[in-house]
Structure 1
Amino acid sequence: NALVNQATTALGNRQYDAAIKLYDDALRLDPANVAAMQGRTGAVTARTLSEAANSGGAVRPAGRVFASGKTLAQSVETRTGAGPEGFDNSDKTVVAKKGSQAAELPGKIIFDVDPETVKPGENYTVKVYLLNEGNAPIQVSQMMVTPRINGKGVTAPVPPQVKEVAPRQKAMLMSSRDIWKEDTTQWSMEVTVSTARGESYKNQVTWK
């Protein structure tokens, strides 16, 4: 937390490189530190915007960065709870919850794209992690990946590198390496993870 606080202070002083380094140090000590992950993303974005402003506001396509969305979580219970009012919950083993409670599910999909800004002809790597913020293991049963380039993409199953994510831990599900094509104007990757308990997590990273 001390490192995160120092990083936040540095970010407030517009010391972007120092803030990113402090967030990296915090993540090395605690890879599951959500505040450090979010702070680092914010620092990278702020640095990019600052550089664009200093260059007269002209943002070249190569200066665009990869931005992750927010994980959409859904479970058997929340899907059941989405039914009409008066749902007969006579089977007490199935708890009907409202869809809004899906946010309470313990999993989050996290993307790590390297490099943060990519140029035509360069190699880039996309790593996908599942963060388990709960107190019980998450058993991964299936992962579907949809890469889209210039609006075109196909959804395909990808075997996850791990089948179980321990409580309070982050595990890599996949790592994909490719060459950035010169004619790329739009790029995104959507990942949906299904668990043995019927939960699903979906998130997307977009080149902006």
Structure 2
Amino acid sequence: MRSQQALNKYKENRQKFQAPPSTVASSAQTQASVLNNVRTNSGTTRVVTVNHYYLQRDDFYNRYSYSTPSWAYRSSPSFGMWDAMFLWFMLDHINDRQYSSMYYHHYDDPAIQAWRREADTLARDNADLRAKLATLDSSQQGFANVQRDPSYLPQEVGATALSAEQAERVFAREKSGFSLLNVFFWMGIFGFSLALACGIIWAIVRFVTPKKEGATI
């Protein structure tokens, strides 16, 4: 099954990170805004399961033939609600307006700031990374007077921007709610079918049972 393969691929990649997940969290407002954007833009109002998250994530990076830079494994696999692989992808595609916009709109996010501090630390002995961060900083000059949007995500990204921990929490709740609706739906179908069957049996019994002479109906 592709979803299992995608999950195994994620786990294999996750094990390479040497640091634990960063516990610095985005504000509650940012989390709510981003999650609402994820649901709206990727169609998750119809309920996206955890399996779909891993498939979507795998398909996205396969489309770009992208893999985590080897030096990034010295860091954390996630920063708050954000997946580290996505943040490194953002940096590697910073000349694309939608990704420079991503950094701009979430510049004040504590989790993004934690990632940037980590990137600066790794860049001390990595000239290539220093150059990428310089490009990132220069890309922000084009956003003068642009109001920051805490819900912003590149249109093509959707849930892929989220850490697996965040996705597991969010989509597990949605999946449970969906399952509960299914239970009520099938209970209703069963109840209706049972009532219909009883009605048919009662009608048949009345039809085949001989009427007694003189009986009043």
Give the TM-score normalised by structure 2: 0.23
Larger helix share, 1 or 2: 2
Which one has a bigger Cα radius of gyration?
A: 2
Which structure ranks higher in relative contact order (CA pairs < 8 Å, sequence separation ≥ 6)? 2
Q: Which has the higher strand share?
A: 1
